[in-house]
Amino acid sequence: MRTHNGERPYKCTQCEKCFTHSGNLAIHMRTHSGERPYACQICGKMFSHSGNLSTHLRTHSGVKPYKCSVCGKEFRHSGNLSIHERIHSGVKPFQCKVCGKEFYHSGNLTTHMKKHPVVSKDEGESEEEHNSVGMDVKGGNRGNQEGKRDEGEAQTFVSGS
């Protein structure tokens, strides 16, 4: 019921993040303690969450369960498929505030921004405004996989720069 009514009674004492279940708080506490109880039996890499280990194992097995319905390209992570699908849909959610050019991927916008001269902070902007000059995410939803990809997995984004 807590999920539906928004109640989050379990609060982290380190960062004050709140959770609906005590088990989720216990898992979250690993981010502060550095505990990584899940080890890859192949390479020894350690993980704080069992799900991250399961995803990592795809690196060794070569399994790519996420397939593009348009071109058939396969991915290890659903987030990488979502980013790839922008190429087919034409959605470019990252826009340069300086010149208006749009990009499929945040990394392409970051690279593009190097072409523009840096705006001086003395022009009365706050530190936050200064740091975000030129970066605009259309639609307001970046997703949690932005810019992440497996080692050895080719980045398939079209560069607009």
DSSP 3-47: HHHT---EE-TTT--EESSHHHHHHHHHHHH----EE-TTT--EE
Residue 38 CA: distances (Å) to CA of 52, 54, 142: 9, 10, 28
Distance CA 112, CA 102 (A): 10
SS3 state of residue 104: coil
* Fold annotation for 2-61: Double Stranded RNA Binding Domain (3.30.160)
CB-neighbour burial class of residue 40 (10 A; exposed 0-12, middle 13-18, buried 19+): middle
Residues with Cβ within 8 Å of residue 120, at least 6 apart in sequence: none
CATH topology of 2-61 equal to that of 66-118+127-137?
yes
Q: pLDDT digit string (tens) for 137-146?
A: 555 433 333 3
Q: What is the structure's pLDDT at 50?
A: 94
pLDDT band at 5 (very low <50, low <70, confident <90, very high): confident
Q: What is the structure's pLDDT at 131?
A: 40
Q: pLDDT digit string (tens) for 76-128?
A: 999 999 999 999 999 999 999 999 999 999 999 999 999 998 765 555 544 44
- Residue 136 pLDDT greater than 50, yes or no: yes
Please, how many CA atoms are within 13 Å of residue 152, restricted to the half-sphere of its CB? 8
Rg (CA), the chain: 20
CATH of 66-118+127-137, one of 3.20.190.10, 3.30.390.10, 3.60.60.10, 3.30.160.60: 3.30.160.60
Q: What is the structure's pLDDT at 122?
A: 56
Whole-number percent of the chain with pLDDT over 90: 67
Where exactly are the structural domains of the chain? 2-61, 66-118+127-137
